Amino acid sequence: MSDTLSALRARVQNKTATVGVIGLGYVGLPLARAFAAAGFRVLGFDIDSAKVEKLNAGKSFIKQIPDATVAEMRAKGFEATDRFERLSEPDAILICVPTPLTEAREPDLTYVVNSANAISARLRRGQLVILESTTYPSTTRGVMLPVLERTGLTPGTDFFVAFSPEREDPGNPTHSVSHIPKVVGGLDDASGDVACALYSAIVPKVVRVSTPEVAEACKILENTYRAINIALVNEMKVLYDRMGIDVWEVIDAAKTKPFGFQAFYPGPGLGGHCIPLDPFYLSWIARHYGMNTRFIELAGEVNTAMPMFVITKLADALNDAGRAVRGSKVAILGMAYKKDVDDPRESPSFELMDHLLKKGAHVSYNDPHIPALPRMRHWPHLDPMESQPLTPEYLAAQDCVLIATDHTAYDYAFIVAHSKLVIDTRNATKTVAAGRDKIVRA
């Protein structure tokens, strides 16, 4: 074992190492919290100076992490900064930045490359660099590593590199960072050793794999599995709707089988930063190997068609009530991509809103977790809008109420009772007895 590796491992094991986290969002901030709670000094990096200022004041911007938790992190030495020249300070640097798609559905690794460039400018001997952002296999070795090697330092000897995919489930207290096994793939044995030692301090189990490529492929497989199975039940929803069969009842019946079936549920479209995007990273790299990933492409077609299916059901329901979409008042309930979170990334609610506005509807929304709509990368043309109070008067004034996200805070019997027409995309009204003639499943 080299002196450089030995010294780094000693700092990790006695928790005198400083952990740097680039990207203090829904992945990076919980990761920073876990390391701070374990006794490490944590330095968080983000390009958003307003976010940095808020965190340093002990305030959170993510609902699942309360202000008290950030204040506790600060008391334990956590600091946020937008000064990337300080990247020479951490002993371990974890990259947790977005990996979106371009308009052509190709990987956009701008944030990863920018992070690698910032690290490279300050890289020193004895540092560990770990990429956590979900990406296609070979990114760590083929994209990030060459940037770091421009320093003239030698990987595996002077500095260490690994990939460990994030497995954050926003809003799920059962599956937080500290409760989920961590897959780790080192560039070499030394990198794998020290990366595993680092994560062992915060997770119940480290699953070591042979290479970064295996770890990268693991995360892509996890999310592609979900995307394909969601597409299956979405397609079943459309078929069973035409047949007059309740797909939700079918799923409830099927999941009583104790083997060979796992329940997935349909919805108005895919949301979140992972499932709508990650499978296309795999299909993109597959084309470089002369292969078409037909399952992934087909699943993408099915899932991306769901918002328009909902709009068609809504338009038909309004037509049956003697109204056109144009000029109708439509309230969307839930702008977050899933229930009980304040995360709007890739939420199908924005596409639903866009379709309705283009058809001439007067659209408003309510979301107890999102008081005002943030600017969205794909929907920059949407006007600023604030959540409306969910009063009897507000509901009664709407021609249609569209349940896009099934937040637990909603009283669905109350919503149905005071609405003229309810379009339910989440089976949220399944236990509502009165007013079922107002409810349309979509």
How distant, in Å, are the alpha carbons of 142, 217, 281 from that of 137?
9, 5, 9
Annotated catalytic residue, options 96, 196, 218, 274: 274
Pairing, β 79-81 against β 41-45: parallel
Retrieve residue 217's tokens. Answer: 């492929």
DSSP letter for 24, please. -
381 contact partners, CB below 8 Å, separation of at least 6: none
Do residues 359 and 388 lie in contact, with contact meaning Cβ atoms separated by under 8 Å? Answer: no
How distant, in Å, are the alpha carbons of 46, 235, 353 from that of 254?
45, 16, 33
How distant, in Å, are the alpha carbons of 127, 131, 313, 346 from that of 95?
13, 5, 42, 21
Q: Which residues, listed in sequence order, are joined to residue 162 by a DSSP beta bridge? A: 130, 186
Q: Look up 218 and say whether it is catalytic.
A: no
Do residues 56 and 74 lie in contact, with contact meaning Cβ atoms separated by under 8 Å? Answer: yes
Q: Which residue do the tokens 């002993």 mark? A: 91
Q: Is 407 left (phi over 0), alpha (psi -120 to 50) or beta?
A: beta
- Is 49 strand, coil or helix? helix
What values do phi and psi take at 254, rounded to 5? -65, -35
Q: Quote the Cα angle for 341-246-320, to 5°.
A: 90
Distance of alpha carbon 245 from alpha carbon 229, whole angstroms: 19
Do residues 130 and 148 lie in contact, with contact meaning Cβ atoms separated by under 8 Å? Answer: no
Pairing, β 92-95 against β 128-131: parallel
- Chain-centre distance for alpha carbon 156: 32
Distance of alpha carbon 45 from alpha carbon 116, whole angstroms: 13
Give catalytic residues, as residue numbers.
274
